[in-house]
Amino acid sequence: MKRAAAVLLAALLAPAPAAADVPAVGPQPAGEASRVYESIAITQPFADQTIFDNNGDVEVAIAITPALRGGDRIVLDVDGRAMSPRRRPHFELTGIDRGEHTLRAHAVDARGGLLIASAPVTFYLWRASRLFPNRSGK
């Protein structure tokens, strides 16, 4: 529990991507100019974490400040493939293959325009193998 809290705190305190990494958002209608996000970070899994799950299930949590507004959504890229945008900052991945994987989260507006992007997070999925039946993985 302490480790999870420390990881969450570290993710929240991590610097946001440089402005050059995030394309500028086009003109916005009056009243929407304040729709700026200070930060977005993947808080679960944490960087370089090894997840032990034989089904390939991975829970992903995202922290965004301030909270999503209006028609904005979060898109999660898994190994470069975008998942469907959603309002909740939580994704449940299933059937992930063993090995190394990279996640990146983006906040997008109602038209799909990029508002802010997280730093990539790499994690590793461990699945039991019939080749090594005596290894518990823990």
Q: Residue 95: what pLDDT?
A: 94
Give residue-wise pLDDT tens across range 48-80.
999 999 999 999 999 999 999 989 999 999 999
Measured in whole angstroms, the distance separating CA 134 from the mean position of its chain's CA atoms is: 34
In a domain, 86, yes or no: yes
Domain count of the fold of the chain:
1
In a domain, 133, yes or no: no
Q: Residue 129: what pLDDT?
A: 77
Q: Residue 130: what pLDDT?
A: 75
In a domain, 6, yes or no: yes
Which range of residues forms the domain containing residue 49? 2-16+36-126
Give residue-wise pLDDT tens across range 104-126.
999 999 999 999 999 999 999 99
What CATH number does residue 98 fall under?
2.60.40.10
CA distance 88 to 73: 8
In a domain, 138, yes or no: no
Q: Is the predicted pLDDT of residue 39 greater than 50, yes or no?
A: yes
Helix (H), strand (E) counts: the chain: 1, 9
- pLDDT band of 22, cuts 50, 70, 90: very low
In a domain, 49, yes or no: yes
Closest CA to 118 of 35, 33, 46: 46
